[in-house]
Chains A and B, each alone.
Chain A
């Protein structure tokens, strides 16, 4: 899928799109239309065959994410077995409880892995938009589990409060939760420090598309190979992503092109709403990361509680208060992701698209009289679709207007799945 717009037209509103397809075999339509088995070449709705609505199975970013998650799962299982054996030998409920928490971690990772894998399935006529939504539902289930676990932890703190017969050993609690904390930190490092990017080293838009290097965090964009998102972030990010160097050789072609076009990104950036601070990372890895983060925060809380009980066994209420505070912190970390999930599931206009500006831009085109029934929605974070009805003047050329509209939407707002119904006044 290669398209070179002429640099001469690189004026205020155009972005030069260099779509280098790393895997040339991806060009065939993996998205079968219902009644027509062969891909259409004249179909304006979907230039170049593949509609990006399902992965090719051999996209490297996806495999990278899966590999990371698999390593993390294996590590988690190992730690969990260690804890279970130790807990049975020492006959301590606290250690077994922590092992159960690790088990829940494993469950969350399994959900993420499954979502990642399932998102690569080919679209079927029944599931015509591909399987990307599974990611979102998997993340929702993960987050509900986090909430459930926070509740269980608070319950355990209350139980510790009630059991006044001193069978709670502060030291043991402290030691076990410290071990759990170390394990969680190791896993957080393994999953990659996504959080670093959120704080905006430099400019945010660079970040949002910084992962376009075929980073494992943007598996879900076929165009991560250097499609529309590559606003010249190549040079900005070389020094940050040391650990992801292994991806670069696959994308060396795109990296070179990035440098040439870095100056065009400034224009484009102003068109997409400034609120686009959220880097487009893999939602599954991110939800697994949130899970691990939540667990480490809770481990800290339990450690503090254990230390308190160890030091002064009569101050049990502090343990409960600590646990409550830390549980609330954990819940707060999930709020942002929950909001994103909710917005996608409600089919609302994604935050990064400015619908009013899109409408204004469309109405300003010649031939267009009115726009109605404009619906913009996302299948998953980052994949946006649009459908609308455009009323044109009775004498306008429907074909030309259609081309212009689709081109405008695709260039300026990066929405590739567009369905426009042209009606004459």
Chain B
């Protein structure tokens, strides 16, 4: 059981070997940090921690602070306080992608603050609108960061399946935001098409260039996810992919604005409309596969990596056993990419011992990739 849970919670970094550098640093931190608080959690603190095992830190701060707050609803609002108290610690002990994301978010926030103040003082609306757009994007990215941090918590009473789903949800929110972005870009293109003046693009060049540079840095951080169609093996894959697409879309938008300005100075008519339209379509096509994939997980659609005929084959195999009368109500869903859950109901003849059937059924579905199966055996 523990191994299964570990398998569920382990992850690998896109760049392999530099983990060792991390773990050495972490072990220093661990030895400094001999905890003054007793750890109520049952997670043992390993002597030579792998980079994954920053968990005890987070788990300790959570459980130690969260415990007095723990009423009957171990719901998210109770742990909100704990997490607000230790976000910096959480990020500092987090994985490398988390740190990079935090860096990017802080860069973006700083930049948008500067833009907002500049825009307010100099009275330029374009800067203010850009700052708002950036702030919204940062908010969504912060949600992704938060999801990364909280997803390592062990399942508790209220969240019996753990917190990994939040990563899928964060990816979905990102994808949704990008869809809204593409829609708003299309509206902007339409607006520019109907109006014939295009004076507001010129002083945005500096801000667009800076935006582009910051976002390209982000794309570089998450470069292994800079593809449109990815097979998702772990829940973090979805989150990282969504973050990468977010910064990619932002950089495409900035590049589009720069191009539009350049074309305008070259005297190309309707350059804005063209560029904005192209960017809008590009962002839409970019984000659609991610949106569909996250949406299908949230909608409890059957696991996409398993062909439906395989399910039929399994149930036929079970039904063909001689003690089994019929198989019904077989339902499967994906909790996160890589972890599928199912339940089914098997009718058997009277007096059959259930262990054999349970083992057989579990074995069959485990081969398919369903890790968690609940089988109800009804006797005739």
State whether A424 touches B333 (Cβ < 8 A): no
Interface residues of B in 311-366 (CB under 8 A from A): 311-312, 315-316, 319, 326-333, 335, 343-345, 347, 354-355, 358
Q: A158-B120, A346-B165 are in contact. Are A43 and B308 (CB under 8 A)?
A: no
Q: How far is the CB of A347 from chain B (nearest CB, A)?
A: 5
Which A residue sits closest to B173, measured CB to CB? Answer: A144
Q: A159-B125, A374-B160 are in contact. Are A45 and B73 (CB under 8 A)?
A: no
Question: 1/0 contact trace for A368-401 toward B, CB 8 Å?
Answer: 0000011111010000000111000000001100
State whether B302 touches A137 (Cβ < 8 A): no
State whether A347 touches B165 (Cβ < 8 A): yes
Q: A137-B298, A376-B160 are in contact. Are A45 and B330 (CB under 8 A)?
A: no
State whether B163 touches A346 (Cβ < 8 A): yes
Partner of B159, one of A36, A44, A158, A348: A348
Q: How far is the CB of B252 from chain A (nearest CB, A)?
A: 20
Interface residues of A in 338-373 (CB under 8 A from B): 339, 342-343, 345-349, 351, 354-356, 373
State whether A162 touches B123 (Cβ < 8 A): yes
State whether B374 touches A419 (Cβ < 8 A): yes
Q: Which residues of B contact A349 (CB under 8 A)?
A: 157-160
B180 contacts partner chain A, Cβ-Cβ < 8 Å? yes
State whether A45 touches B120 (Cβ < 8 A): no
Which A residue sits closest to B136, measured CB to CB? Answer: A151
State whether B354 touches A379 (Cβ < 8 A): no
Q: Which residues of B contact A388 (CB under 8 A)?
A: 374
Question: 1/0 contact trace for A177-188 toward B, CB 8 Å?
Answer: 000000000000
Q: How far is the CB of A214 from chain B (nearest CB, A)?
A: 27
State whether B128 touches A158 (Cβ < 8 A): yes
Tally of chain A residues near chain B (CB < 8 A):
66
Q: How far is the CA of A233 from the CA of B125 in the complex (A)?
A: 57
Q: How far is the CB of B269 from chain A (nearest CB, A)?
A: 25
Q: How far is the CB of B204 from chain A (nearest CB, A)?
A: 15
State whether B328 touches A40 (Cβ < 8 A): yes
Partner of B73, one of A40, A44, A126, A351: A351
Q: How far is the CA of A144 from the CA of B347 in the complex (A)?
A: 45
Which A residue sits closest to B122, measured CB to CB? Answer: A162
State whether A34 touches B123 (Cβ < 8 A): no
Partner of B378, one of A35, A36, A42, A343: A42
A423 contacts partner chain B, Cβ-Cβ < 8 Å? yes
Q: Which residues of A contact B136 (CB under 8 A)?
A: 148, 151
State whether A42 touches B380 (Cβ < 8 A): yes
State whether B120 touches A162 (Cβ < 8 A): yes
Q: Which residues of A contact B298 (CB under 8 A)?
A: 133, 136-137, 345
Q: Which residues of B contact A128 (CB under 8 A)?
A: 300, 302, 330-333
State whether B335 touches A127 (Cβ < 8 A): no
Q: How far is the CB of A271 from chain B (nearest CB, A)?
A: 15
State whether A389 touches B73 (Cβ < 8 A): no
State whether B160 touches A348 (Cβ < 8 A): yes
Interface residues of A in 128-164 (CB under 8 A from B): 128-129, 131, 133-134, 136-137, 140-141, 144-145, 148, 151, 154-155, 158-159, 161-164
A1 contacts partner chain B, Cβ-Cβ < 8 Å? no
B161 contacts partner chain A, Cβ-Cβ < 8 Å? yes
Q: A40-B326, A402-B378 are in contact. Are A35 and B300 (CB under 8 A)?
A: no
State whether A398 touches B173 (Cβ < 8 A): no
State whether A141 touches B160 (Cβ < 8 A): no
Q: A33-B328, A127-B301 are in contact. Are A377 and B378 (CB under 8 A)?
A: no
Q: How far is the CA of A43 from the CA of B379 in the complex (A)?
A: 9
A166 contacts partner chain B, Cβ-Cβ < 8 Å? no
Q: How far is the CA of A34 from the CA of B301 in the complex (A)?
A: 14
Q: How far is the CB of B369 from chain A (nearest CB, A)?
A: 16
Q: A43-B347, A162-B120 are in contact. Are A137 and B374 (CB under 8 A)?
A: no
Q: A127-B301, A128-B331 are in contact. Are A35 and B316 (CB under 8 A)?
A: yes
Q: A375-B161, A424-B355 are in contact. Are A129 and B331 (CB under 8 A)?
A: yes
State whether A43 touches B328 (Cβ < 8 A): yes
State whether A342 touches B76 (Cβ < 8 A): yes
Partner of B299, one of A137, A355, A423: A137
B305 contacts partner chain A, Cβ-Cβ < 8 Å? no
Question: 1/0 contact trace for A41-64 toward B, CB 8 Å?
Answer: 011111000010000000000000
A172 contacts partner chain B, Cβ-Cβ < 8 Å? no
Q: How far is the CA of A158 from the CA of B315 in the complex (A)?
A: 62
A420 contacts partner chain B, Cβ-Cβ < 8 Å? yes
Q: How far is the CA of A375 from the CA of B159 in the complex (A)?
A: 9
State whether B358 touches A419 (Cβ < 8 A): no
B264 contacts partner chain A, Cβ-Cβ < 8 Å? no
State whether A379 touches B300 (Cβ < 8 A): yes
A422 contacts partner chain B, Cβ-Cβ < 8 Å? yes
State whether A346 touches B333 (Cβ < 8 A): no
Q: Which residues of B contact A141 (CB under 8 A)?
A: 176
Q: How far is the CA of A351 from the CA of B128 in the complex (A)?
A: 42
Q: How far is the CA of A343 from the CA of B75 in the complex (A)?
A: 9
State whether B125 touches A144 (Cβ < 8 A): no
State whether A424 touches B354 (Cβ < 8 A): yes
Q: How far is the CB of A408 from chain B (nearest CB, A)?
A: 15
Q: How far is the CA of A373 from the CA of B5 in the complex (A)?
A: 13
Which A residue sits closest to B187, measured CB to CB? Answer: A100
Give the most central of B77, B166, B295, B298: most A CB within 10 Å: B298
A421 contacts partner chain B, Cβ-Cβ < 8 Å? yes
Give the most central of A129, A140, A348, A389: most B CB within 10 Å: A348
Q: How far is the CA of A145 from the CA of B378 in the complex (A)?
A: 47
B169 contacts partner chain A, Cβ-Cβ < 8 Å? yes
State whether A345 touches B374 (Cβ < 8 A): no
Q: Which residues of A contact B316 (CB under 8 A)?
A: 35
Q: How far is the CB of A193 from chain B (nearest CB, A)?
A: 28
Q: How far is the CB of A253 from chain B (nearest CB, A)?
A: 30
B39 contacts partner chain A, Cβ-Cβ < 8 Å? no
A27 contacts partner chain B, Cβ-Cβ < 8 Å? no
State whether A126 touches B120 (Cβ < 8 A): no
State whether A129 touches B300 (Cβ < 8 A): yes
Q: How far is the CA of A144 from the CA of B128 in the complex (A)?
A: 21
State whether B132 touches A151 (Cβ < 8 A): yes
Q: How far is the CB of A350 from chain B (nearest CB, A)?
A: 9
Q: How far is the CB of A284 from chain B (nearest CB, A)?
A: 16
State whether B157 touches A355 (Cβ < 8 A): yes
State whether A373 touches B374 (Cβ < 8 A): yes
- A sample of 16 more A-B contacts (CB under 8 A), given A137-B299, A347-B165, A377-B160, is A35-B316, A40-B326, A45-B378, A128-B302, A128-B331, A128-B332, A131-B299, A155-B132, A159-B125, A162-B124, A339-B76, A345-B298, A346-B159, A349-B157, A419-B345, A421-B376
- Could you name 11 residue pairs across A and B whose Cβ atoms are closer than 8 Å? A33-B329, A35-B312, A43-B378, A45-B328, A127-B301, A128-B300, A133-B298, A144-B177, A155-B132, A387-B343, A421-B375
Chain B residues with CB under 8 Å of chain A are 72-73, 75-77, 119-120, 123-125, 128-129, 132, 136, 157-161, 163, 165-166, 169, 173, 176-177, 180, 295, 298-302, 308, 311-312, 315-316, 319, 326-333, 335, 343-345, 347, 354-355, 358, 372, 374-380
Closest 3 CB pairs of A and B: A128-B331, A33-B328, A35-B315
